[in-house]
Amino acid sequence: MSVRALFAKAQGSAIRELGLLAQEPDMVSLAGGMPDPALLPLAPVREAYARALASDNPSVLQYGPTDGLPACKEAIAGFLATHLGPHGPEDWVITTGSQQGIDLAARTLLDAGDTVAVEAHAYPAALQAFRFCEARIAGVAADEQGMLPQALADLAGRQRVKAIYLVPTYGNPTGALMGTQRRIELLKAAASAGAVLIEDDPYRCLGFDEAAAPPTLHQLNEEHRLGAQVVYLTSFSKTIAPALRVGALLAPPALRRAVVLAKQAADIHSGLVDQGVLVQLLRGDWLAGHLAALRRHYATKGQALHAALQTHAADLMSWQPPRGGMFIWGTLRGKAPAGTDWKALFREHRVLFVPGREFSADGSDAGHLRLSFAHPSVERLHTGAQRLARVLRQALRTA
Amino acid sequence: MSVRALFAKAQGSAIRELGLLAQEPDMVSLAGGMPDPALLPLAPVREAYARALASDNPSVLQYGPTDGLPACKEAIAGFLATHLGPHGPEDWVITTGSQQGIDLAARTLLDAGDTVAVEAHAYPAALQAFRFCEARIAGVAADEQGMLPQALADLAGRQRVKAIYLVPTYGNPTGALMGTQRRIELLKAAASAGAVLIEDDPYRCLGFDEAAAPPTLHQLNEEHRLGAQVVYLTSFSKTIAPALRVGALLAPPALRRAVVLAKQAADIHSGLVDQGVLVQLLRGDWLAGHLAALRRHYATKGQALHAALQTHAADLMSWQPPRGGMFIWGTLRGKAPAGTDWKALFREHRVLFVPGREFSADGSDAGHLRLSFAHPSVERLHTGAQRLARVLRQALRTA
């Protein structure tokens, strides 16, 4: 299919369209993955901009290196050293949000017709990036720890798999946390398949228990010399502010060089003032305290939504209690009919969530939904769970 | 050729690599297209950041619309209304620099094997974006007004041309200014070929005589109802600051929607604080005065380099006196041998410029060079012209 035909067919992000509905009066949105506005650190960010621009050297406004400000890459390497091992600034590429990391990795790795493996339910904007490369997207079976290594090995036995995309730590959409042993097995399967593993890791710092997250796939691969190729992506959109669009990509040298070439053509470089701001925010003690507050806050909210669902929706769906990130993944007890008009139900009952089909490679899912507890207040989460139950009852009754 | 093979073959931007040489002691760089640091408006930008973040509404740090902040699009539409006619914010997409506009337009329009027409010498990062789409790049003959409409029509008679890429106003690399009649003829040829015309217009506000630039291709197309499809790209990298990475794209509705879908997958949206800063800077009178100062300053420099070349290099090359933008395009009186080691000559004589081959689709040119007068001081431009003459004398002698 031609790229133009792909665009004619493309639906755009349903989640971003739900964002418009979220503006309507008295709507409780459990849809988007947006940070809680109360946790956006306006005063520290404001001060960081002032400090980043305090020098009288106008070079802060000039063109900069395609792979990013060395000081920014060094600060990120230091910040993530406990999760990734020691790295120098030369190992990193700053990206325009981690979404650009996904897109650049996809464009560098995937030719038309190539297969990329994803979990049966995956982040829609990654699926979109893979579709625009005209890649074949293979949904691989997953459980509450994420992708099953044997299912990946089976796929790789049937066809060449070029890349594997995972959010293994408090995943989007499932919230799943992949354990250490599962990670090692998956890395072995990836290495054996000769597939590059894209580890998208924006939620790592949002674990309710800071110590609960296993090491990154990148680090396990290095430590155990498993021989996989891992592209690691991080983001500050969930921990500092989405508006800044600062993400970063860590990749083996040959791949990193190709990504830098792709980035030259994509946008020359990412915003430099925002990179300077990140340098300011990663210095000193502020971020550690901020992340601790985020963890407590989102833990309270995640537990509140979990409790409200137990009260109102336990007969309608099952789910795992959240341990981090922003999402609860519901498995319906029954299936919503194919033609369910979710938008009409959302409008009627004043609640939003994302139907599971948005996360499946072929848009076929009818038995799941994603709930985000990040944005509404605890009180609104309770209201949202009540309304969700009404929506599901109506949808399943017509089934 | 596969995308991976393309990346293995890709050389990266020679101009950005010359940037490293430019850091060496006593080097005069006539290579890059970077603004003069003395003209980067640090104090107004600093104040604009403070104003953009002055509100206590944390939504300035939240995710935003993929097509950009409405206030930013409205400010750009107003700023460019005299050059483009009336447009609403809904007609625009904010891009991460105008480079992203080129890349998104390319990805939306071009399938593998499609032909994109460019002038015989064209902006290398656009060529790179087209190459990564696996497009066929056809260099079309040009004169001192840019692309020849008959040559475009001849090409379109031989094969389907999907897109045409032009910098018609103080072009990069040639500095050429396309006259009104030529623009109309070219639009007719584009319309007749059914090709989308990408009008890349970052230098429009840098005409030495503000009144000299003809209307945009976009505006002529509308006014004369010529029936071409025009994608118009603007940038604030040359007029305010490259570091901000704020550009914008204006396109017919169906194309614009496809570009927005591509941008969702590319980076979700561009930096919002930078967009808010642009809103601040486009308000009030500051920008008009700043642009007047830029025009005077670059006119002085362009004329200084022109005069210095007349003194030192008239026997070695010919060129048109610059009328705007940042570049003088030299046509050598003779050809440099294919194996000329320009880097060694640059190192020996302490001057940098960009050999013409970097701008030709097939890398074959041996008879041109691009000189930028934007960055060095007037005194250094004189030194640079003297040194340039030594480099050329040595290169042509060995021919």
Residue B340 corresponds to which tokens in the numbers above? 């000329």
When pLDDT is averaged across residues B146-174 and rounded to a whole number, the result is 98
* CATH number, span A51-282: 3.40.640.10
Number of residues that this document lists for chain A? 399
Query: Is the pTM here over 0.80, yes or no?
Result: yes
| B366 vs A179, more confident | A179
Give me chain B's average pLDDT, please.
94
Closest partner residue to B261 among A7, A62, A97, by Cβ? A7
Distance in angstroms (rounded) separating the CA atoms of residues B362 and A395: 60
Say what the pLDDT of residue B323 is.
97
Q: Which of A2, A7, A233 to mutate: most B Cβ within 10 Å?
A: A7
Q: Looking at this predicted complex, what is its ipTM? A: 0.95
pLDDT of residue A2: 57
Residue B309 pLDDT level (bands cut at 50, 70, 90): very high
Residues of A in contact with B13 (CB under 8 A): 66, 264
Q: How many CB atoms sit inside 10 A of residue B252's CB?
A: 12
Separation CA B342–CA B348 (nearest Å): 10
Asked if the model's pLDDT at residue B399 lies above 60, the reply is no
User: Is pLDDT above 60 for B124?
Assistant: yes
The CA-CA-CA angle for residues B228, B230, B236, to 5°, reads 160
Question: Does residue B202 carry a pLDDT above 70?
Answer: yes
pLDDT digit of tens for each residue in chain A (399 aa)?
456 666 666 666 677 678 788 889 999 999 988 999 999 999 999 999 999 999 999 999 999 999 999 999 999 999 999 999 999 999 999 999 999 999 999 999 999 999 999 999 999 999 999 999 999 999 999 999 999 999 999 999 999 999 999 999 999 999 999 999 999 999 999 999 999 999 999 999 999 998 889 999 999 999 999 999 999 999 999 999 999 999 999 999 999 999 999 999 999 999 999 999 999 999 989 999 999 999 999 999 999 999 999 999 999 999 999 999 999 999 999 888 888 899 999 999 999 999 999 999 888 888 999 999 999 999 999 999 999 999 999 998 865
**Structure token digits, residue A305:** 């939504």
The partner residue sitting opposite B267, judged by closest CB among A96, A132, A243, is A96
Of A106, A133, A123, nearest in space to A237 by CA: A123
Strands A161-166, A146-147: parallel, antiparallel or unpaired by DSSP? unpaired
> Distance (Å, rounded) from C-alpha B150 to C-alpha A212?
68
What is the predicted pLDDT for the residue at A22? 87
CA of B181 vs chain A CAs: smallest distance (Å)? 32
Beta carbons of B328 and B309 less than 8 angstroms apart: yes
Q: If you measure CA to CA, which chain B residue comes closest to A36?
A: B62
Decide if pLDDT at B3 tops 70.
no
Chosen from B11, B93, B263, B267 to mutate, greatest number of chain A CBs within 10 A: B267
Q: Where are the domains of chain A?
A: 3-41+288-397, 51-282
Query: How far B377 CA lies from chain A's nearest CA (Å)?
Result: 16
Q: Given B132, B241, B242, which is nearest A107 (Cβ)?
A: B132
Q: Is the pLDDT of residue B16 over 80?
A: no
Q: Which of the residues A20, A34, A45, A62 would you substitute to probe the B interface, choosing the one with the greatest number of B C-beta atoms within 10 Å?
A: A62
Please give the sequence-ordered ranges of beta strands (E in DSSP) within B50-111, or none if there are none: 92-96
**Other CB atoms within 10 Å distance of the CB of residue A23:** 8
Residue in chain A lying closest to B67 (CA): A16
Residue B19 confidence (pLDDT) above 90: no
Find all residues with CB under 8 Å of A345, minimum gap 6, and list them: A391, A394, A395
Coil, strand or helix: which one is A324?
strand
**Chain B residues with CB inside 8 Å of A41's CB?**
61
Length of chain B: 399
Q: Does the beta-carbon distance from B264 to A34 stay under 8 Å?
A: no
Instruction: Give dist(CA A103, CA A132) in Å, integer.
Output: 9
Q: What is the rounded distance in angstroms from the CA atom of residue B257 to the CA atom of residue B296?
A: 39
- Domain B55-282 part of CATH 3.40.640.10: yes
Nearest CA in chain A to B15: A264
Cβ contact B265–A2 (<8 Å):
no
Nearest CB partner across the interface for B271, out of A46, A110, A243: A243
Type of residue numbered B238:
K
- Look up residue B331 and give its DSSP letter: E
B97-127 b/e with 16+ CB inside 10 Å = b? Answer: bbbbbbbbbbbbbbbeebbbbbbbbbbbbbb
Give the closest residue to A50 by CA, choosing from B43, B72, B272, B69: B43
pLDDT value, residue A6: 67
Residue B246 is predicted with a pLDDT of: 97
| Closest CA in chain B for residue A52 | B46
Tell me if domain B3-41+288-397 and domain B55-282 are identical in fold: no
Task: With CB atoms and an 8 Å threshold, state whether B32 touches A63.
Answer: yes
Fold (CATH) for B3-41+288-397: Aspartate Aminotransferase, domain 1 (3.90.1150)
Q: What is the predicted pLDDT for the residue at A45?
A: 97
Q: Is A147:A186 a contact under the CB 8 Å cutoff?
A: yes
- pLDDT at res. B9: 67
B4 pLDDT tier (thresholds 50, 70, 90): low
- Across the interface, do A61 and B49 touch by the CB < 8 Å criterion? no
Give the per-residue pLDDT at A336. 84
Shortest distance between the Cα of A276 and any Cα of chain B, in A, equals 10
A271/B96 Cβ within 8 A: yes
Decide if pLDDT at B226 tops 80: yes
pLDDT over 80 at B78, yes or no: yes
CB pairs under 8 A between A and B: 220
Share of chain B above pLDDT 90, in %: 88
Query: Does residue B73 contact residue B248 with C-beta atoms inside 8 Å?
Result: yes
